[in-house]
Amino acid sequence: MTSLNTGSWTMKKILLIDDDSELRSLLATYLGRHGYDTLLLPDTRQLDTFVERYQPHLLVLDLMLPGEDGLAACRRLRARGEMLPVIMLTARDEPADRVIGLGMGADDYLGKPFDPRELVARIEAVLRRGARPAAAPDPEGGRRRFGDWTFDRGARQLSRNGEVVALTSGEFALLNTLVANANRPMKRERLLELTRGETTESFDRAIDVQIHRLRRLIEADPAHPRYLQTVWGIGYVFVPDAPADAAGES
């Protein structure tokens, strides 16, 4: 069963996948009242078709689904380079489950039961992160090169030898913040404030998980990172190449 409000194509489109038909109907009505077009699916069998056909701005994805579960679907989307923002829903709200969901590439995580107002707040926060670079000192963007990598802050792209690597909005915001504050250790609390917004509850492990994912992408040896280094007792720091070795910044 699907539902799409076609009255206004200027509205942000949200794809909601949950096997609870009553919850789908409730959230579709509530999101519609808050200015969102809502597409509904009971499972992920038509996920790829809907993403390609309707190009939603954000996916709200239940973790526990018949057939392919939400974690597997999120992992599959990220593996193929899909950067669609994802908010994961689950009846399990344990920190370990959040870490797993974020580790699969989700941008945010919301445990059931929840107040629909909180879901709207999370959606708005994630879309804001995707709409602008977080903590960017140069509104014109700019590129930072390190090792084999080019981080284009204006185009919101990370690439190596011309091949673009997909980043979630949260991963981009985190890397952008660290790059903008190169050689300056950043506390986890400050990184949360700059990258996840005031409407998202404090969850330090979210930063740790995203750092882990970025290291797996960027570092030659993630266990001994060269660029995204840990500052014990504080947080993390981006350490650029030395000037003589740097490929340059424009």
Q: Which residues of the chain have pLDDT under 50?
A: 1-9, 132-139, 198-202, 245-248, 250
Domain ranges of the chain: 12-131, 143-238
CA angle 154–51–19, rounded 5-degree value: 125
Residue closest to 213 by CA, chosen among 78, 110, 87? 78
Does the domain spanning 143-238 belong to CATH 2.60.40.10? no
According to the model, what pLDDT value does residue 194 have? 73
Helix, strand or coil, per DSSP, at residue 37: strand
pLDDT at site 56: 92
For the CA atoms of 238, 182, 170, 133, the dihedral, rounded to the nearest 10 degrees, stands at -160
Question: Is residue 14 within 8 Å of residue 31, measured between CB atoms?
Answer: yes
Q: What is the DSSP string of 9-64?
A: TTSEEEEEE-S-HHHHHHHHHHHHHTTEEEEEESSSTTHHHHHHHH--SEEEEESS
Is the model's pTM score more than 0.85?
A: no
Which residue do the tokens 């590439």 mark? Answer: 105
Question: Residue 2: what pLDDT?
Answer: 46
Give me the pLDDT at residue 197, please.
55
pLDDT of residue 96: 60
Annotation: CATH topology of 12-131: Rossmann fold (3.40.50)
pLDDT of residue 135: 37
